[in-house]
Amino acid sequence: MANDSAKSCGLDPDNWKNFRAEAHRMLETSLDQLQQVAERPWQEVPEAVKESYAVEASGASAAEIVDRITDEVLPYHGGNIHPRFWGWVQGTGLASDLIAGMAGAVINANTGGRDHGANYMERAVIDWTRQKMDMPEGTSGVLVAGTSQATVIAFQAARVRVMPQVRKSGQGTTRLTAYAGQGIHNATRKALELLGIGFENLRLVPLIDGQMDLAALRAQIAKDRAAGAQPFLLVGMAGSVDLGTYDDLNGLADVAADEDLWLHVDGAFGAWTRIADDPWRGLSDGIGRADSIALDFHKWMYVGYDCGLVLIADEAAHRSAFAARPSYLEAAERGLAGGDPWFCDYGIDLSRGNRALKVWTALELYGEAALGAAITDNCRLAALMADEVTAHPNMRLAAPVVSNVCVFTARNDLAPEAQSLLNSEIAQILQESGEAVFSTTRADGLVMLRAAITNHRSRAEDIHEAIAAVARLAQAG
């Protein structure tokens, strides 16, 4: 079919009336999706649909494209928008994203630098978050794709602080060592690999009751120093990926101060207990003493993908790890080239999108109290799930639930291998039936069912029905 926009005047619509009508139709269909989300769990993508994605690039009408997106795209989401999705650690997205997404699409801001509104809004979002995290005034930050990228940025700042020459001449033969508790997220290891520090130089310190053993940590640091290494970085967990546990962040800050280490906190989801009620808020006490924090808005602040943040207490250290302005990027006092400082001097990306708008829209629309209440509620639901698991004679928790993560086996009375098989099978069956999404993890040498509740749409009856479904399958198995 002939393409309106392929005509003489290029890519903008020739017929605005028609384009408006089709854009409104897309909005209505998107709103339907959102309102009926509970009836739309994950489903497998049929082969014919996968094939329909093949790019033809031959032009089509807006009406055709809206129809195709409605039929071929919207139904095949990743499940995380559904009220009974607790797999991995994934956020649900918010209705506010729809509003922010529309405005963001037409502004098309490049927030690498220069003088325009999106950059001022990003600074405001960063500063609000800094305050919630108890970080000092003057802390710098930059919104990024997620905690993985935030971690790379933080670690590079930590390294430049101890090796000011590293940007110029590389790391040479210096052996830097980093410390984290066992169970640290893979993002830490990956960042150390990317920076050329090497994962062998990440010391995994044993845990006691889910927290890094501080005596073992001090002993390992001393041993490494004696062997000629240069300890530079201590990584704390605020919400471990497997069990949702928290290091003693004040204890880590004391060790970091004594040993002159950079303290980084992986708070991808768990940092957000800062705005929850006690006792969960207390889990992240001490986080503000970190030199850097990596966290996500797209997990436990429910904002649509993608959006993470790195916060760095020492702005000068942050800037000196990344700033580099060739002549074509020189700043000016006035005009569009003003607006210093530019975000490109605080991270890897030069061109960057407008991630702040969706965060700002969510904060302004819902307010901190409602977001904090949703986080508190998720912790309560994890505790409820633990209670229901414990009430079933043959189910067993891997560990007590401390925040929003509940890990359990469905049939503790079976042999270990049979339990692993059954737990994996139950996860798959429930995913495919659309009843609930658990993921799996390994604990006590078993594959277990795991729920990480970062879902503002979940209610007590969702937990109840999901555990009942697990019990039903466990009995049949």
SS3 of the chain: helix, strand, coil, percent, to 5: 50, 15, 40
Q: Give the nearer residue to ligand PLP in terms of CB position, either 22 or 296.
A: 296
Q: Give the nearer residue to ligand PLP in terms of CB position, either 266 or 462.
A: 266
Task: Tally Cβ neighbours within 10 Å of residue 64.
Answer: 13
403 closest CA partner among 440, 371, 373, 377: 377
The least distance separating ligand PLP from the CB of residue 437, rounded to whole angstroms, comes to: 16
Q: Give the nearer residue to ligand PLP in terms of CB position, either 158 or 469.
A: 158
Candidates 127-135, 145-153, 273-281, 362-370; binding stretch for ligand PLP (CB under 6 A): 145-153
Residues 6+ apart with CB under 8 A from 317: 157, 160, 161, 291
CA dihedral of 219, 222, 228, 229, whole degrees rounded to 10: 70
Q: Give the pair of three-digit tokens for residue 390.
A: 């414990």
Identify whether the C-beta of residue 354 lies closer than 8 Å to the C-beta of residue 111: yes
The least distance separating ligand PLP from the CB of residue 25, rounded to whole angstroms, comes to: 33
Please state at what angle helix 460-476 crosses helix 416-433, rounded to 10 degrees: 130
Identify whether the C-beta of residue 379 lies closer than 8 Å to the C-beta of residue 403: yes
The least distance separating ligand PLP from the CB of residue 296, rounded to whole angstroms, comes to: 5
438 closest CA partner among 76, 73, 447: 447
Instruction: Choose which of 109, 197, 241, 283 interacts with ligand PLP (CB under 6 A).
Output: 241
Is residue 231 close enough to count as binding ligand PLP by CB under 6 A? Answer: no
The least distance separating ligand PLP from the CB of residue 265, rounded to whole angstroms, comes to: 10
Is residue 269 close enough to count as binding ligand PLP by CB under 6 A? Answer: yes
CA 6 to chain centroid, in Å, comes to 40
Binders of ligand PLP in range 71-90 (CB under 6 A): 89
Is residue 245 close enough to count as binding ligand PLP by CB under 6 A? Answer: no
Is residue 148 close enough to count as binding ligand PLP by CB under 6 A? Answer: yes
Q: Give the pair of three-digit tokens for residue 464.
A: 């109840």
Is residue 300 close enough to count as binding ligand PLP by CB under 6 A? Answer: no
Q: Give the nearer residue to ligand PLP in terms of CB position, either 4 or 296.
A: 296
**Beta strand residue intervals within 65-213, DSSP E:** 140-144, 176-181, 202-205, 207-208, 211-212
Q: Residue 330 to residues 54, 114, 327, 349: CA-CA distances in angstroms?
A: 42, 10, 5, 16
The least distance separating ligand PLP from the CB of residue 155, rounded to whole angstroms, comes to: 13
Candidates 15-23, 69-77, 140-148, 463-471; binding stretch for ligand PLP (CB under 6 A): 140-148
Task: Tally Cβ neighbours within 10 Å of residue 226.
Answer: 8
Instruction: Choose which of 268, 374, 385, 405 interacts with ligand PLP (CB under 6 A).
Output: 268
Candidates 143-151, 174-182, 313-321, 352-360; binding stretch for ligand PLP (CB under 6 A): 143-151
Candidates 49-57, 256-264, 265-273, 438-446; binding stretch for ligand PLP (CB under 6 A): 265-273
CA 214 to chain centroid, in Å, comes to 27
Residues 6+ apart with CB under 8 A from 325: 331, 345
Helix (H) or strand (E) holding 236: strand 230-237
Could you tell me how many residues of this chain bind ligand PLP (CB under 6 A)?
13
Q: Give the nearer residue to ligand PLP in terms of CB position, either 234 or 470.
A: 234
Binding letters toward ligand PLP, positions 415-454, x by CB under 6 A = ----------------------------------------
Binding letters toward ligand PLP, positions 330-369, x by CB under 6 A = ----------------------------------------
Q: Give the pair of three-digit tokens for residue 241.
A: 């990926």
Binding letters toward ligand PLP, positions 88-107, x by CB under 6 A = -x------------------
Instruction: Choose which of 266, 291, 388, 435 interacts with ligand PLP (CB under 6 A).
Output: 266
Give the Cα separation of 99 and 138 in Å (integer): 31
Binding letters toward ligand PLP, positions 167-196, x by CB under 6 A = ------------------x-x---------
DSSP structure class, residue 70: I
Instruction: Choose which of 304, 308, 347, 353 interacts with ligand PLP (CB under 6 A).
Output: 308
Give the Cα separation of 237 and 184 in Å (integer): 7
Q: Give the nearer residue to ligand PLP in terms of CB position, either 153 or 473.
A: 153
Instruction: Choose which of 41, 91, 104, 146 interacts with ligand PLP (CB under 6 A).
Output: 146
Provide the binding-site residues for ligand PLP, judged by CB under 6 A: 89, 146-148, 185, 187, 239, 241, 266, 268-269, 296, 308
